[in-house]
């Protein structure tokens, strides 16, 4: 017996971010905004191009991972100054190399000036910016390195140890770790779910 052939035409599937209870309850004004999801009628600008209405530049598509759905990374239009990472000498649970949003939620519970500067950034009515994780900064370097200064370092939200956190240097594209009490540049990002 031959199996029947099933044909599906014009199928459109949208994925929304799954929020963990800790993210949804820890920082209510910082919560993921599902209303900003990309629909099929939205025109996606080229990598590095400004994305009207989204608060910044297209940093590229990020594949789904863990409980985070696929999304575009929106890079803020500007840096928000130089700030300490904060709490040098204290261990933090902000250790994800991929999930800057989760790291930032954790950092907001303590005294972390870089994370607070990132979450304080708003543009085009979006107030869900955060400090990117180490892999998210690398993603920015791969897709839109010209948006970043080449003569300085940028903090990630990823802790290395009680005394160190990861940073990105956009001139050479390398990542190392630096003392948490040092003032490095901060460039917020946000997620635009598809």
Question: Do the Cβ atoms of 59 and 143 come closer than 8 Å?
Answer: yes
pLDDT in the model for residue 17: 44
pLDDT in the model for residue 144: 98
pLDDT in the model for residue 42: 65
pLDDT in the model for residue 28: 42
Question: Do the Cβ atoms of 74 and 192 come closer than 8 Å?
Answer: yes
pLDDT in the model for residue 39: 58
pLDDT in the model for residue 122: 98
pLDDT in the model for residue 102: 98
- C-alpha closest to that of 137 among 92, 180, 103: 103
pLDDT in the model for residue 14: 44
pLDDT in the model for residue 2: 52
pLDDT in the model for residue 21: 38
How far is the C-alpha of 138 from the C-alpha of 143, rounded, in Å? 9
pLDDT tens-digit profile of 24-81?
333 444 444 444 556 545 699 999 999 999 999 999 999 999 999 999 999 999 999 9
How far is the C-alpha of 105 from the C-alpha of 150, rounded, in Å? 28
pLDDT tens-digit profile of 70-98?
999 999 999 999 999 999 999 999 999 99
pLDDT tens-digit profile of 114-172?
999 999 999 999 999 999 999 999 999 999 999 999 999 999 999 999 999 999 999 99
Q: What residues contact 125, with CB distance under 8 A and at least 6 apart?
A: 55
């Amino acid at each position: 017996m031959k199996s029947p052939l099933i044909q599906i035409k014009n199928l459109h599937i949208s994925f929304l971010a799954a929020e963990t209870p800790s993210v949804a309850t820890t920082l209510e004004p910082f919560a993921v905004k599902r209303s900003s999801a990309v629909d099929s009628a939205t025109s996606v600008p080229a990598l590095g191009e400004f994305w009207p209405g989204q608060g910044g530049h297209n940093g590229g598509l990020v594949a789904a991972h863990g409980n985070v759905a696929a999304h575009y990374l929106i890079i803020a239009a500007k840096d928000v100054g130089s700030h300490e990472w904060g709490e040098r000498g204290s261990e933090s649970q902000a250790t994800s190399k991929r999930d800057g949003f989760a790291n930032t939620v954790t950092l907001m519970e303590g005294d972390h000036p870089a994370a607070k500067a990132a979450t304080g950034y708003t543009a085009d009515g979006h107030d869900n910016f955060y400090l990117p994780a180490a892999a998210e900064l690398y993603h920015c370097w791969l897709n839109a390195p010209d948006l970043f200064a080449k003569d300085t370092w940028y903090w990630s939200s990823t802790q290395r140890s009680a005394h160190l956190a990861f940073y990105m240097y956009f001139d050479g594209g390398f990542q190392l770790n630096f003392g948490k009490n040092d003032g490095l540049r901060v460039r917020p990002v946000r997620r635009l779910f598809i």
